[in-house]
Amino acid sequence: MAVKNVVILTDYAFINGGAGKVAIDSARELARSGLHVTLLCAVGPVAESLRDVPNLRIVCLDQPDVLVDHGASEARVPEPLVEAACFATAMRCNVRPLANARIPSG
């Protein structure tokens, strides 16, 4: 079965480091290649480079940046909450999460 839909989860809707650059560049280029891409991010604003890209849907939750607003010591969210949020958002985006998807411990 060929892949037609891709969901990319990332913290920020703009490039703020290496992982963000990979997520945003990948979303843009996969959409340009013809795949239907949903980029799910927690913190905005949405990068200008993501606007008006065909086949790219952006879901930005506009959450506060906990690293800026509260400090790194309070930034950790319990993993079950993160996992529940990921599954709930996947369902909202009309995608089926993998049955064995897990959030890595760390």
- For 28-80, how does the pLDDT look when each residue is reduced to its tens digit (9 = 90+)? 999 999 999 988 888 889 999 998 999 999 988 887 776 665 555 555 554 54
Interacting residues of 15 by C-beta distance below 8 A, sequence separation 6+? 21, 24, 47
What are the Cα distances from residue 32, in Å, to 19, 20, 79, 83? 20, 18, 33, 29
pLDDT for the residue 105:
44
The per-residue pLDDT for 10 is 85
Q: Which is nearest to 8 in space by CA: 30, 51, 16, 79?
A: 30
Q: How confident is the model at residue 87 (pLDDT cuts 50, 70, 90)?
A: low
Cis ω on the peptide bond leading into residue 45 (within 30° of 0)? yes
| Rounded CA separation 22/58 (Å) | 16
- Which phi-psi region, left, alpha or beta, contains residue 94 (left: φ > 0; alpha: ψ -120 to 50)? left
pTM given for the model: 0.67
Give me the pLDDT at residue 12, please. Answer: 87
Segment 96-100 shows an average pLDDT of 51
Q: Is the dihedral of CA 69, 76, 26, 34 positive or negative?
A: negative
Q: Residue 70: what pLDDT?
A: 56
pLDDT at 8: 87
By the 10 Å C-beta count (0-12 exposed, 13-18 middle, 19+ buried), 31 is classed as buried
